[in-house]
Structures are given as structure tokens and as C-alpha cells.
Structure 1
Amino acid sequence: MNVIVVGSGIGGLTAALHARERGHSVTVVTKGALGDGCTGFAQGGVAGGYGHDDSPALHAADTLAASGGLADADAVDVLVGGARAAIDDLTARGVRFDRSADGALLRGREAAHSRSRIVHSGGDATGAAIASALVAATRTARIDVVENAFLADLEVVDDEIRGVRVLIGGSSSILRADAVILATGGAGRLYAHTTNPEGTTGDGIAAAMRAGAAVADLEFLQFHPTILDAGPPFLVSEAVRGEGATLLDDEGRRFVFESHPDGELAPRDVVARAIARRAARQGAPVRLDATMIGGAALRRRFPTIDRVTRERGFDWSAEPIPVTPAAHYLMGGIVTDVDGRTSITGLFAVGETARTGVHGANRLASNSLLEGAVFGARAAAALELPWPTTVENRAGSPGAVEPAPDDDDSMPFSRSALQHLMWDEVGLIRTPAGLRRAAHTVALWAAQPRPLRSIVDHEDANLLALAGAMTRAALARTESVGSHHLETTTAVLETV
């Protein structure tokens, strides 16, 4: 079978390697260089390293609890049931996970986990280690690689995938395939403040939407609580709080306990909102205090964070550092079954591009790398299986809003204007009125003719399409749950 994998993070390269090992002809198409994307930036590890007091069942319970009750239990069981094999597979491909002197995997704890079950590589460089190992394996696996190729559209005939149309060096080409696996990541560049790299513009999800694939849960966008509030966005891993760091307001108080009994180890959505509210109230950033961990331990456990914080003028072993939330991870996406199959025959989706149901309204920390590894391998294994009659869209489609009126009193479209609109109105704290304003403005922008002359033009069109779908989905979900936090009073967050 001729298989095209679009994207080269953990989900895409895992799928590509497993597919090649099963005898398929595989081509990896990637927007930038092989291995670019979000995987290499992941400081957190891979959840699923179970100790004597832990089990997949406990991991599943934590995942379901963090999800706001909206994760699919069957999909979660598949995720945690595949954890041990996924970690073993990554180890076999060259990822050197951190180990104790006796060779046992070292396990850390992060927010909303009841046990220490997260394995790391290089302390806080797990993503970089995984990306490096999978890129090296791909280079030697007789897999064709097409770099600097932008996914323009999917080629679909009679609801069956036939290939992809890509833009390479200003030219359009159609690459034929019997199956296509989308692993293009999320859409963090919808927001003014994000941990995601420049190219994360939702290209795969938008292309699938244009082709008629079912999408769901786009209203669920996770904001990471702790980004260094100095210079370009730089994530300070949740594992730092797992090692004992605390969050302090300008009076030195640990304020997160006012929002949740678990304090700094509460689910991410709770911690992010608590930080944003306190920062807005005091007119200054909150601070992450890791001084109790000690300088030597910080350098050993978090070498990347230690280096960057020092480069930006902070000695975090001696003083708390300023932090702020930022858009981080999309829990929704293209609807798939537990084998990555979508509502279009022959089209698979894995990783952040997919909505498998494992995250619900809020992702449990370090389940994302695990998801890419587990479901990337499952998609490759499903290439030989009969296609199901339908892929059930259990969470529903993005909602509908009234058509935008003809009068255009909004600001002209620009990517920056869209990003600030989404941050202000479809961000950490939402209101029905703000969502309606966002839907109105996005609909006006989307209705304006916009020629697609460059890749940036295509990216903007994808971001607009996703902004519209995300805002409609948020309007349709009238209850407040997880990362979709609705308020109807006037006492809402005004600034971060």
C-alpha cells in the first residue's frame, strides 16, 4: 500500500516507521524540516511508567477525572493499555530515558496525576530526545521524505482518499496515495500568546474540514499555566511544580488553593485560570518559586529551563520567576476511532490533529506524547484492516451561529487581529457576549474575498476556518466544563 504521512512529530513518525515495517511504501510530507513541530519542544515526559503502587487503571481514572468527565472511557483504556509498549518502542528506537543507578526508569509526577508515572529524557528535554531518535530512525528506514511541503488540500473522490495536494517552492503538486495519515499538530497560532511554533496553523484539520471530515471538541483548547513572562514564550514544565515548586502572588501567598484543594497540582485549566485572575487583580505577574528544590537539583533535573531562565536574567534557584498562561494544546480535532480512522475512507489522523476522545475537556499532563506514540502505531496497524462503515461522531459537530450581518464595523483582518480576538474572547475565560462578538467578526473576515497567493495566505485561511468552527462550537456548548470556562457575570478577566 502507498501511504502518505503528513507531519513529522511523534505521531507522524511513529506511524511512518510502523507502516514501513509492515511492508508499506511510505512517504513523509512535512511543512518544514523533518522533525520540526511541537514534539521537539516538549519538556514534559511520557506518562505510563507504572511503579509498584500504580497501574493503567489508576492512570485511566486520573485521565477521566482531569477531562471534566468528557473523555471516552474506551479510548482512554486503549491509551493507557498501550503505554508500556509505547515506551519500550521509543527505547528500542534510541530514546534514552532517565534511569536510576540500578537501571530503573525514573518517574516524575505532574498535575492531576495521583502517582509518579512520567518518564523523561535529559531531564526536561524529552521531546527533543524523541524527535531526534525518530528522525534518525526515519532517515535509515527507506522512507521517502518531502520537506518544505505545505499541505494545501486533500484529494478525495467519492468519499475516499486519493492523495494530497502540496505546495513546494511555489508550485502545486498532487501526491497520490492509497492512505493518508494526518499528523499536522494543532492550531496554537490562533492565539496572541502561545507555546506553539510558527507553523502550527491547523493545516491538517482545516484541510479535513474542507474535504467533509467530521470534527469535534474544537472548543477545548488547553492553556499551559506557566510560561516564563520575560522575552519570547518559553514553557516552564509542569514537572517543576511536581517536584515541589509553588505559585505565589505579589504578597507571597500560595493562592491556587483558593481555587482547588490540590493547589499547584490541580488540573491545568484550574491553575491557568487562577494565575490569570490573580495577575489581573494585582496588575503584575504571579511568580513560580522553585528555590526550595535547590540549585544543583534544578540544574540536574531541568537543565534546559535552568539555562534559559539564566539567559533571561533570572537565578531561579535564588528567586521566584514570573510566569503567565499561554495557549498550548488543542483537545479537539478530526474525529477518529481508536485506530485513527476518520469519516473519510483511507484518511487517518493521529496526535494533536485527531480527536480520539482521550482528553475530553482537559488534557492530563504528559498524555500527549503518549497519545502520539500509541495511536501512531495503531493507525499503521489498521492500514490492512477493513474500513468501518462509519466513524461515530460522538461529540457532535461545531455548532451554528446566525449569518453575519452585511454591515462591517470591525477592524480589517490581519493574523495579529485574529489572534488577539481569539485571546480576548475565546480564551481562558469566555462569555456568551464575547463569543458572539468573536463569531460575528470572524464571519465578516471569512466572507471577504482573499486570494491565496502564498503559503501565509493559505495559513491565514486555515486559521480563519478553525476560528469560526471553534467559536461556533464554544457557543453551542452552553455549560462550563474544563478548558471551556463560561461566565455570565460582569466580574470576568479583562487582561492577562
Structure 2
Amino acid sequence: MVLNFDVLIIGSGLAGQSAALRLADHCSVALISKRKLEDSASGWAQGGIAAVLDNRDSIEAHIQDTFVAGAWLNDEKATRFVVENGRSAIEWLIEQGVPFTKDESGYHLTREGGHSARRVIHVADATGAAVQQTLTEKVRKHPKIRVFEDHIAVDLITGKKLGTDENRCFGAYVLNSVSGDVLTIGAANTLLATGGAGKVYLFTTNPDTSTGDGIAMAWRAGCRVANMEFIQFHPTCLYHPNAKSFLISEAVRGEGGLLKLPDGTRFMPEHDEREELAPRDIVARAIDFEMKKRGLDCVYLDISHKGEAFIREHFPNIHARCLELGIDITREPIPVVPAAHYTCGGIVCDLDGHTDVAGLYVAGEASCTGLHGANRLASNSLLECLVFSEAAVKDMLAQKPAPLPALPDWDDSRVTDADEEVVISHNWDELRRFMWDYVGIVRTTKRLKRAEHRVRLLKREINEFYANFRVSHDLIELRNLVLTAELIIRCAMLRKESRGLHYSPDYPDMAAKPRNTTLKPRRQKR
């Protein structure tokens, strides 16, 4: 079945939904969501959105903080572009009806690790959920946005796939995860808003949908990727057997939360002069160091000294969730561990969100815009989603739509039903475990070589499985995940220094000149 639209958006987080709403008054839009519209990493964001909204703050200060956190690998033009467009991005969300938290002076701004000022606008401690809910209601009601829930993109349709030399994207093949049918969706322009790849690791704060789909599809389509070694590990994920991927917001430390050992002793002052307000990579490494040194399962984050009224007002959702698990954060500390949180690298794009393939754009965590450098500054991610999705929309609308060629239906005539699905689950588990052990917070050359060997064996096995059996939701995710893992390992092996989120005892010093780690796919003969 072939369906044609003006724009195909793959991914239903903040980048995807904001782009859809901006486009829908001008053209027809297809919006692909792997699960429901609400199920994205954007909806899980607790802290807020960083933007210069206070007269005591400045654009230059926000840029400087971003560069310091990013270990000076940030692209200056991209960083300035995002920061300078911060206020207008927030104003657009306010126009959409997002109920940001207010105080006596207007909107309440909090401060998070790495920021020199209060500049994080938020909705209590559930900003992402509030933003997502507001936009989702509008998306569902818009007559020119067709939503495909429980659908997952299999691969992009490019000139190469059609047997021509044209370096252009014409849409994608998309699996209906419920019926098993594969749709052919044609579009003059396609936006990848698929999020990151946190599920490549055993422990992550990401939802199950974060499997590197857009990065893998873009790589197969011929796009460069860069800086994939910079995986941000959030320092404080709730450590509890019944709490899956529950994040304890950066804002808890921003509002005075203290990190402690089991005996109540603080340890951050020994690791960094900024103590609990140091950037995430430093805090995550400090926790990892203390846990390994002392044989701990976790450390503790204590905000109880701020009092019950303060905690209930500022962190109602964290308080409620912890209470469900028997932890009263008004009286006792929160057990926490680091977990894979954000993919700072991704698909290389310009300031219009355009990739190396004509008609293919990217926005959000799947991209490498140059904003984050070697480490993302807290709460810059949702801002990047908004600014680059708007830039991509403007560029699409300024282009003359390319005519679509005849697109063939998905061909599954030469494959059969899988005989043993256990292969998928086993490989998924093996991949996530060795990535956690060998390509985690601290990496050595020896560990990376082990991971490289393992990932190549897995990749061959999975690709053979893909070639012989009908596609399924789990198989598509695993295929994308193993490729994304390989890209992470390759980038990590190329970086002969320690910078930002990439730390290697074999190369403990930072190089004098910051350089991106860019990978380019080989051109395959037709």
C-alpha cells in the first residue's frame, strides 16, 4: 500500500510534534509514532527548558556555560543560533498553552548543574510530560496531520534503493506493529525526529523506544554521523528493583540536594569545586568512582533538609513516585545510580536541520548539530528540539517540492516467518550487557576492542536473520541498535584523548585542539 504526503515525520516527541504543528497549516503531514503519541523521551524530561528569560542573565553567559559543559567541542554558530532563538521557542510553547510554573515575579526559573544563572523554565518537575500533553492534544485534532501510532519505520526510501544515483530521500517503509503490514509512505521531505539510543545500554533513563532508529536509517541512507562516543550518563537514576528507568531530576541538585555515601558523608567536594552543581559527566564519574572504590550498589541523594513543604511544591512527581516505593524523600535520602541518558552525537546536519541526503532532515536527539559538543548542558535538549524543528520546517516550506517517482511496495516474497524469536531476545540482552561493561562511563582500549569484536559478530548474525525472515518490531529495533552500538564503538576507538563524556585511562589528558569524530558511510555500488 502506497500513501503520499508532503512531509513525513518519523518520531512523535517534541521535535516531531512541534514540526507537525508548524507544517500542518501549509501542507499534508504524516506523523509516525512507534507506540502512542505520548510515549517519547521528551515526555520523560523532568527538569525543564533552558533559555535566557531573565534580565540578570545573558545570551553570552548561556553560550559560555554550554561551551564549558561541552568541553569546547561545541560548534559556535550552532550554539549561538540555538541560544539566541531560546526566548522565541519558549514563547511559542506558551502560545500553545503549556502551563509553565509561575511565582510572584512571573515564570519560575530554576538552576541546574553547569548553569551560571537561573534560566530553566519548567512545569513543576514534569516539564516534558506537560509539554507533550499540550502538543499531543493539538496534533490529534488537526485535520491535516495523519497520525500513525504503533508504527515503526523499517528503512528510508532513497534513490539508491530505487536503483538510481539520485542522492535523495523519497519517504520510508513503515511497519504496522499490530497487523504486520508494511506501508510505503512517500514524501517530498522527511524529518527524522526519532530520539537517541539509550537502550543500547543495560541501565538507562530512556523509554523503550530509544533504539537509535533514525541514526541507523540515516547511516544506511548515506549520511555522516559524528561524536557518537559522547553518551551522557545521568548521575541520578533511582536505584530500586521496582523502578524502571525513573530519573531523579537535575533540579534536585540545583535546588540544594546533596550526594552522600551510605554513612552520610558527602563526596562531591573531593571531586570538583562546583560540588553537586558540576556538569553531569563529572558527577557521573564521581559516583562511578565511589561505587567501584567502596563496592557500593548505589549512593544517596539527600534533599530532606529543604523541608516537606518545599519538596512537595518543587518535586511533587518525584516525591509521589518515591513514596509509592516506600521512600519518603522529605525524611530520607534517595538511592541513586548513573544510567545512560542522552546521545550527544548523531546525524550530521546544518543549521536548517538538513542532512547529507536531499529531502532528509533531522531534529532533536538523533542529530549532531554541534550544540552539545562533548557533553550536553542540562535542559538544552528540549530547546534544541524546538529551534531545529522550526528551522527544518522553514527550509522545507522554502523549497520547491521534488516530484515523487513511482515507489514500489515492500517486497517480502523471499522471506519466511521467523522460526525462533529467542535469537532476537538473546542478542538484545547480550548487546546491552557488553555495551554497559565495555563502553560505559570509563573506557579502555582493551574493553573497546572486545566490544568491537562482539558487535561485529552480532551484526552479522542479526543481518542474516533480517535477510531471511519477515520483519517484526523487535527485529527492526535490534538491527538499528546493533548498528548504532557499532558507530558508538568506532567513534570511541578513534578518540585518543579524554574529553567531556568520553573518558579513557589510556588517554587521560585532553588534546590541545578539539576535533569532531566524524564517520562517513562507504558508497556502495549498485
1: distance between equivalents of 2:457 and 2:497?
27
Alignment partner, residue 109 of structure 2: 107
Alignment partner, residue 392 of structure 1: none
Matches within 5 A, 1:372-387: 372-385=385-398
Query: Of the candidates 61, 65, 70, which is equivalent to residue 64 of structure 2?
Result: 61
1:91 aligns with 2:101: no
Offset of 1:252 from its aligned partner? Answer: 2.2
- Identity of aligned pairs, percent? 43
Which residue identity does 2:157 align to in structure 1?
Answer: E
Which residue identity does 2:27 align to in structure 1?
Answer: H
Alignment partner, residue 469 of structure 1: 487
Instruction: Work out whether residues 13 and 135 of structure 1, in 8 Å CA contact, stay in contact via their aligned partners in 2.
Output: yes
Matches within 5 A, 1:109-148: 109-121=111-123, 123-142=124-143, 143-148=145-150
Q: Secondary structure at the match of 1:472?
A: helix
Offset of 1:49 from its aligned partner? Answer: 4.2
2: distance between equivalents of 1:413 and 1:461?
13
Instruction: Work out whether residues 42 and 128 of structure 1, in 8 Å CA contact, stay in contact via their aligned partners in 2.
Output: yes
1:145-188 deviations in whole A, cap 9, x for unaligned?
Answer: 11111100001111111111001121111101000001010111
CA RMSD in angstroms, aligned pairs only: 1.5
Offset of 1:489 from its aligned partner? Answer: 9.3
2: distance between equivalents of 1:462 and 1:469?
11
Alignment partner, residue 398 of structure 1: none
Query: Of the candidates 184, 198, 206, which is equivalent to residue 196 of structure 1?
Result: 206
Q: Which runs of 4+ in 1 moved over 4 A?
A: none
2: distance between equivalents of 1:125 and 1:50?
20
The normalised TM-score by structure 2 is: 0.86
Q: Which runs of 5+ in 2 are unaligned?
A: 160-165, 401-424, 509-526
Matches within 5 A, 1:42-53: 42-53=45-56
Q: Secondary structure at the match of 1:358?
A: coil
Alignment partner, residue 518 of structure 2: none
1:151 aligns with 2:169: no
Offset of 1:75 from its aligned partner? Answer: 0.2
Instruction: Work out whether residues 49 and 119 of structure 1, in 8 Å CA contact, stay in contact via their aligned partners in 2.
Output: no
Alignment partner, residue 254 of structure 1: 266
1: distance between equivalents of 2:394 and 2:38?
22
Matches within 5 A, 1:159-170: 159-168=167-176, 169-170=179-180
2: distance between equivalents of 1:31 and 1:43?
22
Q: Which runs of 5+ in 1 are unaligned?
A: 388-411, 491-496
2: distance between equivalents of 1:24 and 1:477?
43
Matches within 5 A, 1:2-41: 2-21=6-25, 23-41=26-44
2: distance between equivalents of 1:50 and 1:247?
29
Offset of 1:215 from its aligned partner? Answer: 0.9
Instruction: Work out whether residues 152 and 167 of structure 1, in 8 Å CA contact, stay in contact via their aligned partners in 2.
Output: yes
1:202-233 deviations in whole A, cap 9, x for unaligned?
Answer: 11111111111111111111000001111322
1: distance between equivalents of 2:128 and 2:112?
16
2: distance between equivalents of 1:238 and 1:355?
23
2: distance between equivalents of 1:15 and 1:489?
41
Matches within 5 A, 1:255-404: 255-284=267-296, 285-385=298-398
Structure 2 vs 1, CA of residues 29 and 441 (structure 1 numbering), >3 Å: closer, same or farther? same
Alignment partner, residue 450 of structure 1: 465
Instruction: Work out whether residues 496 and 507 of structure 2, in 8 Å CA contact, stay in contact via their aligned partners in 1.
Output: no
Offset of 1:59 from its aligned partner? Answer: 0.5
Instruction: Work out whether residues 207 and 245 of structure 2, in 8 Å CA contact, stay in contact via their aligned partners in 1.
Output: no
1: distance between equivalents of 2:121 and 2:126?
11
Q: Secondary structure at the match of 1:479?
A: coil
Offset of 1:52 from its aligned partner? Answer: 2.0
Offset of 1:386 from its aligned partner? Answer: 5.3
Instruction: Work out whether residues 439 and 468 of structure 1, in 8 Å CA contact, stay in contact via their aligned partners in 2.
Output: yes
2: distance between equivalents of 1:413 and 1:319?
39
Offset of 1:446 from its aligned partner? Answer: 1.2
Structure 2 vs 1, CA of residues 489 and 380 (structure 1 numbering), >3 Å: closer, same or farther? closer
Alignment partner, residue 400 of structure 1: none
Q: Secondary structure at the match of 1:323?
A: strand
Offset of 1:488 from its aligned partner? Answer: 2.5
Alignment partner, residue 171 of structure 1: 181
Report which stretch shifted further, 127-136 or 378-387: 378-387
Q: Secondary structure at the match of 2:170?
A: strand
1: distance between equivalents of 2:53 and 2:507?
44
Alignment partner, residue 393 of structure 1: none
Instruction: Work out whether residues 50 and 56 of structure 1, in 8 Å CA contact, stay in contact via their aligned partners in 2.
Output: no
The normalised TM-score by structure 1 is: 0.91
